[in-house]
Amino acid sequence: MAKVPRSLAGLTIAITGGARGIGRATAKALLAQGARVAIGDIEQPLAEQTAAELGSGTIGLPLDVTDRDSFKAFLDQVEDRLARLDVLINNAGIMPLGPFVQESDATAQRIVDINIHGVIIGSKLAIERFLPRHRGHIVEIASATGKIGFANAVTYSASKHAVVGIAESLRQELRGSGIDISVVMPTAVNTELGSGLGGARAFKAVEPEDVAAAIVEALQTNRFEAYVPKSLGATIRSGNVMPRKFMEWVGRALKGNEVLSNLDHTARASYEERMRQTIEGGRPAPAAAAPAVAEAGSPAPEAAVPAESGPTDQDTEAAKREKEAV
């Protein structure tokens, strides 16, 4: 007999990085299930605008996932304005791309701060609230790169491997506590973050609504691993039992490495400019700002492919100041 999906009606759900892309689509899908939704984003005006557009009592709040005080204040406001927290969806993340040897230390640090430390901080704060209640659910948004390494995305892939590892370990550590863990791993997604990526023969890019549907299903069925598309899971599992050289040959034949290497920087210019602002100043450019658009065939902005000479002394000092600030 099929398991009856759990109702999400009335649950209070907080989504990080919820102002656009997967976060926004997930908020909309959860509202349709009757949940109360709060979205947090480092771009507070955009978070508020998205919340207003979604309606149904959605609230948009400021959130810097790299700052424990900011994250705690976000969750405090969620519980003050809605109700006690039932679900945290750690969705916030960035994806600067480019050859590893050309990646600046400031870029690598920012990826780690947001994609890994942000997940660690949020998960700890949620668990602190969930443990006394003996209930709660954390959804970690990872990626197919959390299971497979991709060229041109070394640090990003490492960060998503870390997210999968966090989810795997928390699942074991929290067994019997009443706290559930899910990890969602999509292939390339048609969002601003996924703009300008190359195409593979095996899988086409999915829509943010597809990822949102997988998140809803994971919450309803208490599914631990959710791949988007679902067929991705079978491919990854088969790769674990096949000889490495054979799977690498299959990957080359299907042009898997071209997904994150063969970039259209014109299509990706808006995201790359926003990442440059995020890495240099710790904050993205305002949503309404007109980004610099790279000409077709021009090199990527520094956030995607930094200068070959590596970080300058000024870059190092800026990174130190940024680290002290967050």
Residue 228: closest CA among 117, 138, 147: 147
287 or 197, higher pLDDT: 197
Tokens 């109360």, residue? 36
Amino acid symbol at 72: K
* Catalytic choice (71, 74, 150, 156): 156
Residue 60: closest CA among 46, 70, 71: 46
Tokens of 19: 């102002």
The answer on pLDDT for 306 being more than 90 is no
CB 192 within 8 A of CB 270: yes
Q: For residue 304, tell me if it sits in a domain.
A: no
Q: Domain holding 17: CATH number?
A: 3.40.50.720
Q: Which residues contact 174 (CB under 8 A, 6 or more apart)?
A: 127, 181
How big is the CA angle at 236 (ends 230 and 240), to the nearest 5 degrees? 150
Residue 214: closest CA among 119, 140, 118, 145: 140
Q: For residue 164, tell me if it sits in a domain.
A: yes
Tell me which H or E stretch contains 38. Answer: strand 36-41
The answer on pLDDT for 241 being more than 80 is no
Number of structural domains the chain divides into = 1
| pTM attached to this predicted model | 0.79
Q: Which residues contact 29 (CB under 8 A, 6 or more apart)?
A: 209, 212, 213, 215, 216
pLDDT at 237: 74
Least confident of 31-40, 201-210, 228-237, 240-249: 240-249
pLDDT at 190: 77
Q: For residue 267, tell me if it sits in a domain.
A: no
Q: For residue 23, tell me if it sits in a domain.
A: yes
How far is Cα 326 from Cα 314, in angstroms, rounded to an integer?
Answer: 18
Q: For residue 289, tell me if it sits in a domain.
A: no
Residue 38: closest CA among 92, 73, 81, 93: 81
| pLDDT tens digits for range 11-68 | 999 999 999 999 999 999 999 999 999 999 999 999 999 999 999 999 999 999 999 9
pLDDT at 127: 98
pLDDT at 304: 37
Beta bridge partners of 182: 139
Q: For residue 292, tell me if it sits in a domain.
A: no
Q: For residue 100, tell me if it sits in a domain.
A: yes
Of the ranges 46-55, 225-234, 242-251, the best mean pLDDT one: 46-55
Domain that holds residue 133: 12-231+253-261
> In the annotation, is 227 catalytic?
no
Beta bridge partners of 140: 90, 183
Q: For residue 242, tell me if it sits in a domain.
A: no
Give the chain's mean pLDDT: 81
CB 129 within 8 A of CB 136: yes
| pLDDT tens digits for range 259-273 | 565 566 676 777 777
Under the banding of pLDDT at 50, 70 and 90, the label for residue 317 is very low
The answer on pLDDT for 318 being more than 60 is no
Residue 59's CB is within 10 A of a number of other CB atoms, namely 19
Under the banding of pLDDT at 50, 70 and 90, the label for residue 301 is very low
The answer on pLDDT for 294 being more than 70 is no
pLDDT at 191: 64
What burial letters (b/e) apply to 190-217, b meaning 16+ CB within 10 Å? bbebbbbbbebebbebbebebbbbbbbb
